[in-house]
Structure 1
């Protein structure tokens, strides 16, 4: 091996090391406050929904004894036969803004596409989503700031709601899962768009793909809205290319480079290309989805096998929505 090869490789190693130091320094500049605020907002909305639900007063059976955890008073849960997730009734969730196709399409309540992501069906549902949000979202916000991560979270939740409403017409849907899958999708596209700056690529890529596949597989169980998961994931995946590219090293250290070396572009050509294509696909996808939704199109009529993406019937359960 020639000496100049050693010097060149050593220079490259130093550049990667400097970039890693830069990334760490930049991470320390961001304080995560938006994701914790989202968590507090979701918990607060659940408390409000339980207070309004008031099972002992509104239980259709007229028997307070059938409410779960009666000692909680108005915050006690619906009977497990009605809601096995320890939460409010479906009528309460509908009142507070759950996603319901009929009301969105025929009563022009498009705001439900947003409000549904702040509601949860029960304590189990809430805890699972909030733990995932804390684990994934806080780290992302520390790396990329509240504006970009907040945008991905909200738009992914919206995208998940649009796809869910297109395919599910006979049930309500609630939960932050679409937004969470959007963050997972953004993590995956961030890895791709910043591929050249990572020294260890295989391990995080494999781990992330396993997590995504497992969570999507859980979505084929009954009473789980996998269309919201898929819609949120696709939205977040595209947004990651648009919002999460990292500057190339030469741009970061341009002040320390020799005078005869200059880096004019902040991002690499492929990063610009991926971002532009993703932005076009995102705008087109959401626009077409919204037009189809408000025209009352039922996507299942045009894709008969798509129903298996959210529930696969077995000898143990059915997928009739009951």
Structure 2
């Protein structure tokens, strides 16, 4: 997205009405059939909701359509994300586990089946890191609002009165300046929002990380934290806090880097890169652990449908898709590195009769995907960071890439502020 001057990019939700009313219902029906009316649908395979925390341009005096994108869409989108989220329970249901007694081991060693089963007794981690992330984000937002101190800001006289003045210095900026009920763009800039000029010219690379922890408003914060709770807790229970912590932080960093390469005239905040990284990781987890799923086609088609919806939202005006793509690609590659599951035969090696040869921990293709992903991650980050700190514009090397963020139509102009 190109704008004439610096304005704040807020990561918000953007979702079409058709998708909201039609698509989730069809997916929900499919989920009910596959779940066989099993109503235990809250412990789902975590997946970010569509267009989570999309970058959104906020001009000083937004028009009515802009206000709709900023405030109404996030609410509708969160409801729809729940529908999409429920469908993915079928992926967890498709991982069937069995316990085997000592009489079964001979059959296990002679079996020629191409798939293996994960036991129901698979270790479940206690989730504590994701709740800590949520608490940290909320606490930081309170600090930001305290420092913003809307009642004592002189510019509010020009754009309107502060919102919720009973909160004192914690009151929100006027709706005309920030429809998401939050601080001003200048406050966010001071506290670490992503801005290309400060990152490259002033060598403030730390903004690539701090911008992930800032939020543009209460609506922005609420939607992101609800999504993180649904997604992150389930992932952390399955794979542990170390792997999910690395996945979340590196995905957010990857989204910030790619966004800075292609969008250089705006400032941005929010965790869209990190949340899209979780979506990418779930896709690669499905692929690298392909043999443990009994409902492979359903799981893959569901994930691909959600991915297409998420990324398609990015072509709307004022929505930055580069942070989404950067986070998604980083999470997708990290999923091959951090989320492979060992073969069942390797898990049962201690219970095998003496002298029985056990299987290797991972399948050959899992090792290949691991190596390829590590190479792509290292080379990708190296090239992107070198280009960024040399001050290069990604659009100069990819003349069609701007269409990934906004496709111009007769109804909107991608170059408008």
Give the TM-score of the pair, scaled to structure 2. Answer: 0.70
What residue is the counterpart of 1:41 in the other structure?
136
What residue is the counterpart of 1:20 in the other structure?
119
Higher helix proportion: 1
Q: Which has the higher relative contact order, 1 or 2, with Cα contacts under 8 A spaced 6 or more apart? A: 2
Superposition deviation, residue 285 in structure 1: 0.2
Structure 1 Cα separation of the partners of residues 204 and 416 of structure 2: 23
Structure 1 Cα separation of the partners of residues 268 and 129 of structure 2: 24
**Contact 1:98-1:172 at 8 Å conserved across structures:** yes
What residue is the counterpart of 1:117 in the other structure?
212
What residue is the counterpart of 2:99 in the other structure?
none
Deviation sequence 1:153-203 (CA, Å, 0-9, x none): 000000111000000110001101100111111111011000011112222
SS in 2 for 1:173: strand
What residue is the counterpart of 1:271 in the other structure?
366
Alignment CA distance shift 1:142-1:206 (3 Å): same
**Contact 1:55-1:64 at 8 Å conserved across structures:** no
What residue is the counterpart of 1:150 in the other structure?
245
SS in 1 for 2:119: helix
Structure 1 Cα separation of the partners of residues 388 and 235 of structure 2: 32
Structure 2 Cα separation of the partners of residues 288 and 186 of structure 1: 22
Please, which of 186, 189, 202 is the counterpart of residue 281 of structure 2?
186
Deviation sequence 1:93-152 (CA, Å, 0-9, x none): 100100000000000000000000001111221112111111111100000000000000
Superposition deviation, residue 16 in structure 1: 4.6
**Contact 1:50-1:87 at 8 Å conserved across structures:** yes
**Contact 2:156-2:174 at 8 Å conserved across structures:** no
What residue is the counterpart of 1:215 in the other structure?
310
Deviation sequence 1:16-63 (CA, Å, 0-9, x none): 55x23243xx12xx1000011111111111111111111111141436
Please, which of 40, 65, 70 is the counterpart of residue 165 of structure 2?
70
Structure 2 Cα separation of the partners of residues 210 and 203 of structure 1: 11
Structure 1 Cα separation of the partners of residues 321 and 160 of structure 2: 34
Superposition deviation, residue 275 in structure 1: 0.4
Asked if 1:202 is matched to 2:297, the reply is: yes
Superposition deviation, residue 260 in structure 1: 4.7
SS in 2 for 1:172: strand
**Contact 2:156-2:162 at 8 Å conserved across structures:** no
What residue is the counterpart of 2:259 in the other structure?
164
Deviation sequence 1:207-243 (CA, Å, 0-9, x none): 2222222222222233332111100000000000001
Runs of 5+ consecutive residues of structure 2 not aligned to the other structure: 1-106
Please, which of 51, 60, 78 is the counterpart of residue 155 of structure 2?
60
Q: Give 1:310-321 correspondences, 5 Å limit.
A: 310-320=405-415
**Contact 1:64-1:70 at 8 Å conserved across structures:** no
Structure 2 Cα separation of the partners of residues 81 and 318 of structure 1: 21
Structure 2 Cα separation of the partners of residues 211 and 53 of structure 1: 37
Higher strand proportion: 2
Alignment CA distance shift 1:277-1:153 (3 Å): same
Q: Give 1:276-287 correspondences, 5 Å limit.
A: 276-287=371-382
SS in 2 for 1:66: coil
Please, which of 285, 299, 302 is the counterpart of residue 394 of structure 2?
299
SS in 1 for 2:340: coil
What residue is the counterpart of 1:84 in the other structure?
179
Question: How many aligned residue pairs are there?
Answer: 310
Alignment CA distance shift 1:312-1:86 (3 Å): farther
SS in 1 for 2:268: coil
Give the TM-score of the pair, scaled to structure 1. Answer: 0.90
**Contact 2:314-2:321 at 8 Å conserved across structures:** yes
**Contact 1:56-1:64 at 8 Å conserved across structures:** no
Task: State the Cα RMSD in Å.
Answer: 2.2
Structure 2 Cα separation of the partners of residues 232 and 100 of structure 1: 18
